[in-house]
């Protein structure tokens, strides 16, 4: 089946969702978020680094 991955960078955290498309619609396969945000204008600060590490862990958990 076809699937899609959505990554949303909000001001307080990153939201991740994976959906699978079926003949009857979409199935939510995975949803998660980081505890830390990533400041895209300053990715070198500690909070951004923690957020990036969390996002990497989340992406490693998803079965592509």
Angle at 12 between CA 40 and CA 44, to 5 degrees: 35
Give the predicted TM-score (pTM) of the model. Answer: 0.87
9's tokens: 């960078």
Per-residue pLDDT band at 63 (split at 50, 70, 90): confident
Integer angstrom CA distances of residue 2 from 19, 44, 60: 9, 35, 19
The string of pLDDT tens digits covering residues 38-58 is 999 999 999 999 999 999 999
Return d(Cα 64, Cα 61) in angstroms, integer: 9
């Amino acid at each position: 089946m076809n699937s899609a991955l959505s990554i949303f960078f909000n001001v307080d955290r990153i939201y991740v969702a994976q959906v699978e498309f079926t003949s009857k619609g979409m199935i939510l396969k995975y949803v998660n978020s980081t505890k830390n945000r990533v400041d895209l204008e300053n990715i070198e600060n500690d909070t951004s680094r923690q957020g990036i590490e969390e996002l990497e862990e989340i992406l490693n958990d998803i079965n592509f």
